[in-house]
Chain A
Amino acid sequence: MTALFALAPLVLLLVGGLLIMLVDAFAKERVEVSALVSTLLGASFVVAAGSLLADPNPSGLPAEITRYLAVDATGYFTDVVLTVAALIATLAAGSYLREHELERPEIYLLLLLSTFGAMVLARAADLIVLFIGLETMSLAVYGMIAMRRNNARSIEAATKYFLLGSFAAAIFLFGAALLYGATGGTSIAAIRDAIRGGHAEPALVMLGLVFTLAGFAFKVAAAPFHGWAPDAYEGAMIPVTGFMSVVVKAAAFASLLRVFTGVFGDPLLMHPTTGWPTLVAALALLSMLVGNLGALGQKNIKRILAFSGIAHAGYVLVGFASLHAVPEDATAAILYYFLAYAGGTGLALASLVAFGSKGLEAVDVDDLVGLGKRHPLLALPMAIAMLSLLGIPPTAGFFAKLFLFQAAAQAGGIFAWLALAGVALSVVSGFYYLRIVVALYASEPAEGAVVARPMRSGYVLLAMVFGSALVVKLGVMPGLYLDLALEAGRGLFH
């Protein structure tokens, strides 16, 4: 029972999701599924946050649980990030689907199951459980993208994502198999001990590292494994784009953190010049370059956010590259970044949902022209989100980037140069983020141009208020959350 309570954030989603399915199936009247799912996610969030504050590292749990699923502060922290992002996406979907007459209750249940899979992935202490979590999360996402059956772009996006996702899953699975072959274990602890003890065949371990890293790099959309992201993001409905860009990415990163500090946390493998940090640094640099340069010429905001997501994956990888030198600081910075990124990107996509109405979406930068002058309050969250993604104080993004780059600077050497490149490329990102703010507040639409008409709906407003509060609070009172992230990160280095 204690184990069930300790894993309450996950159990709630699973049991609650099944119940909602039953209720929806047998109810005669139309059920407000979005409200039920939001409430469930909210409850899960509250429980996770409460556990993080009260008892982040519960002890005395049966080994049958902890061997497969980590029950630690890191897990609760990622639960918080994932439920926050899923909550924003669900609320946005609640408004979006009704406004555009696409309402289908299955999508909420897919969203719920996908979040559950993401939480399992983020907590997985065993490569098999990891893979199950990964696929639970991914399959539901493929379904969500394909939900608009009559829309060719959606089907195209879902097909592409599914094919490439299967390819990446195979690559990851191959890596996991090699690790099993090298060490005879599937749990992170067993593989780690075998490698530390010198009982593992080095060539197989190295190949395992290469393939699992490639699999993860696909899921987090790090260059050069990013090709699918712009197409998939563009083809999906806006709330689904929001879900994918945050939940999938954050869960994959969280799992990467566990695997690379656990399985590959050996000091020899983490050697700054000969181990994986330099390789990760290269991926980080490439992602920051591709993401920021790719976003420059885009008009479609979903595509801009897809490339922005690639760039942000690069920033997070800067933190990974610094793990060898300042493990605790870098872990805290990475975890903090999840929260800031979830707030910023979630808020941006929720705003985008709010800007459209009656079958007309506002997805191009040109659609937003003058919106801030007509609806100054409604447009404000989008501006806040852009400033946060750009990293301007007093928003979440500023301190998030500061902590990451500070960790890299402390690592010194090429990693300090990497931080410098990150800062320089952040400046480039100002161009496309601020273009949206300028469109909102400092431009007038041309005569006769079609202007975006925002919808009136409570759900998405709630998401926007929640997201704005999160982003501003993280920017004004970062110390509090950084302490939590530090505490959460320490769980990994017990």
Chain B
Amino acid sequence: MKHKISSLSELQVSALREIVNIGVGNAVTSLSKMIETGVKIEVPDFKVELIENVPEVLGGAANVVSGVIMQVAGDVDGYIIMMLPEDAAQTICQIITNEDNVDILTPLNQSILEEVGHILAGSYVSSLSDFLGLNIKISTPMQTFDMLGAIIDQILIEMSQKVEHALLFDTMFILQGNRTDGFFLTMFDPDSMDKILDRIDKMI
């Protein structure tokens, strides 16, 4: 890639962070409306990591989470992954179904989580699209409840064929009152990062 991710300027980094922040902010507003519960987000963390280290950086490969993965396509390629610990996934399903002690593994709840991920990623991506003036689309979501390492290794494998480092934007969001959190992870293909940075350079 043209832009070296290990030597981005401070201005580029803060612009990237801001864009992701706005996107996730929009997504979380959608979530908040959907579940009628306040949701807070933290300023996105921007990291450049060796691909091999990504599972550890995200909290450990053995950590069991509910993951919704969507492929990003259009002018840029990449993946958006929403990860929720079991209690957060359960909270969301309980609020939506209006039932107590739900089992997140039933087909109904799996598709609820899938749809929640899809709606969030949709509003995130449309905000990125508008801001950058790029056409960005997402695939249908795929949901699974498994070990974090297993959920993301297919994506990391794909990236490791092209680059040694992955750019991670991870944003924690906190469901108020439940003290539970989840995160959004965005990874772009190196060529796509070039396109995004070119757009940013034109703006700043």
Q: Bound pair: A and B? A: no
B residues lining the A interface (CB < 8 Å): none
Interface residues of A, Cβ cutoff 8 Å to B = none
